[in-house]
Amino acid sequence: MAANDPELAVRGAVSDAELRTLFSAAWGDDSGTCWAPILARSLSWVTARRGETLVGFVNVATDGGRHAFLLDTTVHPDEQHRGLGTRLVRAAADQARTGGAEWLHVDYEPHLTGFYAGCGFRPTTAGLLRVAPSPGSAR
> What element of type H or E holds 74?
strand 67-75
Nearest to 72 by CA among 22, 136, 115: 22
What integer is the mean pLDDT of 108-117? 94
59-81 residue pLDDT tens: 999 999 999 999 999 999 999 99
* pLDDT given for residue 23 in this prediction: 94
The pLDDT, as a whole number, for residue 32 is: 80
The answer, yes or no, to whether residue 127 has pLDDT greater than 90, is no
The pLDDT assigned to 132 comes to: 82
| 8-state DSSP, 110 | G
φ, ψ of residue 47 to 5 degrees: the values are -110, 155
**Residue 5 reports pLDDT greater than 60:** yes
Asked whether the predicted pLDDT for residue 11 surpasses 90, the reply is yes
Report the pLDDT averaged over residues 32-42.
Answer: 92
Local confidence band at 139 (pLDDT 50, 70, 90 cut-offs): low
136: pLDDT strictly greater than 70: no
61: Cβ contacts below 8 Å, ≥ 6 apart: 41, 42, 43, 68, 69, 71
Specify the pLDDT at position 137.
Answer: 65
Dihedral in degrees, nearest 10, Cα atoms 128, 130, 136, 137:
120
Could you read off the pLDDT of 86-107 as tens digits, one per residue?
A: 999 999 999 999 999 999 999 9
Domains in the chain: ranges and CATH: 7-118 (3.40.630.30)
- Of 46, 69, 49, 68, the C-alpha closest to 58 is 46
Are 62 and 43 in contact by the 8 Å Cβ rule? The answer is: yes
Supply the mean pLDDT for the chain: 92
